[in-house]
Amino acid sequence: MITSLQNPLALVAELTHRCPLHCVYCSNPLELQSRSTELSTEVWSRVFKEAAAAGVLQADLTGGEPLARPDIVDLVRHTRAVGLYVSLITSGLPLDQAKLDALVQAGLDHFQLSFQGAREETSNDISGTKSHQHKLRVLEWLKRYRIGLTLNFVIHRRNIDELEEMLTIVEESGAGCVEFASVQYYGWAFANRENLLPTREQLDYCVERLHRAEKELQGKIRVVFVVPDYYAKFPKPCVGGWGRKLMLITPKGDALPCHAAPVIPGLKFENVKNRSLREIWERSEAFQKFRGEDWMQEPCKSCDRREQDFGGCRCQAMLVAGDAAATDPVCSLAPQRPKVDAILAKISGAPPDLRQLTRSDWRYRPNPW
């Protein structure tokens, strides 16, 4: 196994779980880690150095809100200095012009700004914070710099009808890339699933409109669409395959094969305070658990697509099918697919009018101490 093991290519650094936004689909776990447990600047710097030495090319500095770390400029500088490509995945909220300038000077390669909608009312409802106007200001500031810019719109039933207005924001922004990422149902999104899943009609409209946008914007703006996999025929190749490409480090230093992995009972995670990154990649029990094909059951085990989608997502198998080694239940070949169909039938049978939802209908993510 170890001799044929590839390098990790991407390091996702969840610098903190603190965030001024309270998004109803946040991918952070329900049990958020507090400030007092967060890794120090020194430990993060060592982690980035070890990542580059292990073959990692790209570091995504994320959270929570990575700008909530007072040492964010130093962390960007350290990450870039060891040779990694540095992306900041941010809401843009605690940002002013001086901080942006310092981040760019420190070597930030790529700024990924999240949007919760195209309209102020929607965005503020979804994020539980007045945030939309500030994001538009950040977009204006960014025009002064020659760095990569991606806009990220998380798409769901409440905002999918604003697609046209979202595209207008994108075209005026100067971004090189836009991601329309359908909500994936883990963490807080799983808790709010019935209010977030789009209808089949909404999805069809979205696919058609983005297909057109992709052609219209080719060579100017790259359009990426992440499908809502409950509607898919085959599962997504989650994190490019378990323990194949990606490592995620939580604020307190646990090394995970993907952000949702703690939902799988019995997985033991190593901590970067005690082990080197390479050691964790090669030997950690959690990374080995679903690496390769030995863990697979039928129909995955003999499926032609097993090297394409790696059986889909282990965490989704756990959450929906109750077995982390099952075929991802969104797969049309999965024995547990009827569970997903039942959820979809409920949505299309009686879609609640989301415009009448009030804040008490959502489960908002809190800001940990």
Hunting for tokens 């939309």 — which residue is that? 132
Q: What is the footprint of other proteins within residues 19-58 (CB under 8 A)?
A: 52, 55-58
The residue range among 24-32, 61-69, 143-151, 335-343 that interacts with other proteins, by the rule CB under 8 A, is 143-151
The residue range among 21-29, 217-225, 228-236, 250-258 that interacts with other proteins, by the rule CB under 8 A, is 217-225
Among 43, 147, 227, 232, indicate the residue that binds other proteins (CB under 8 A).
147
β-strand partners of 149:
111
Smallest gap, in angstroms, from Cβ of residue 218 to other proteins?
6
Smallest gap, in angstroms, from Cβ of residue 88 to other proteins?
11
- 227 touching other proteins, by CB under 8 A: no
**Total residue length of the chain:** 369
Among residues 151 and 197, whose Cβ is nearest to other proteins?
Answer: 151
Binding mask 319-358 for other proteins (x = CB under 8 A): ----------------------------------------
Smallest gap, in angstroms, from Cβ of residue 87 to other proteins?
7
Binding mask 86-125 for other proteins (x = CB under 8 A): -x---------------------xx-x-------------
What count of other Cβ atoms lies within 10 Å of the Cβ of residue 305? 16
Smallest gap, in angstroms, from Cβ of residue 222 to other proteins?
4
Among residues 104 and 191, whose Cβ is nearest to other proteins?
Answer: 104
Smallest gap, in angstroms, from Cβ of residue 223 to other proteins?
10
Binding mask 264-303 for other proteins (x = CB under 8 A): ----------------------------------------
Among 176, 240, 299, 366, indicate the residue that binds other proteins (CB under 8 A).
176
β-strand partners of 179:
152, 224
Number of residues forming the site for other proteins (CB under 8 A): 25
Among 83, 322, 338, 352, indicate the residue that binds other proteins (CB under 8 A).
83
Among 94, 148, 237, 240, indicate the residue that binds other proteins (CB under 8 A).
148
Among residues 219 and 265, whose Cβ is nearest to other proteins?
Answer: 219
- 182 touching other proteins, by CB under 8 A: no
- Mapping DSSP onto H, E and C, the string for the chain reads CHHHCCCCCEEEEECCCCCCCCCCCCCCCCCCCCHHHCCCHHHHHHHHHHHHHCCCCEEEEECCCHHHCCCHHHHHHHHHHCCCEEEEEECCCCCCHHHHHHHHHCCCCEEEEEECCCCHHHHHHHHCCCCHHHHHHHHHHHCCCCCEEEEEEEECCCCHHHHHHHHHHHHHHCCCEEEEEECCCCHHHHHCHHHHCCCHHHHHHHHHHHHHHHHHCCCCCEEEEECCHHHCCCCCCHHHCCCCCEEEECCCCEEECCCCHHHCCCCCCCECCCCCHHHHHHHCHHHHHCCCCCCCCCCCCCCCCHHHHCCCCHHHHHHHHCCCCCCCCCCCCCCCHHHHHHHHHHHHHCCCCHHHCCHHHCCCCCCCC
Smallest gap, in angstroms, from Cβ of residue 143 to other proteins?
11
What count of other Cβ atoms lies within 10 Å of the Cβ of residue 147? 16
Euclidean distance between CA atoms 30 and 320, whole angstroms: 17
Among residues 94 and 148, whose Cβ is nearest to other proteins?
Answer: 148
Euclidean distance between CA atoms 255 and 142, whole angstroms: 33
Among 23, 138, 169, 221, indicate the residue that binds other proteins (CB under 8 A).
221
- 172 touching other proteins, by CB under 8 A: no
Smallest gap, in angstroms, from Cβ of residue 93 to other proteins?
21
Residues in the site for other proteins, rule: CB under 8 A?
7, 9, 52, 55-58, 83, 85, 87, 109-110, 112, 146-150, 176-177, 218-222
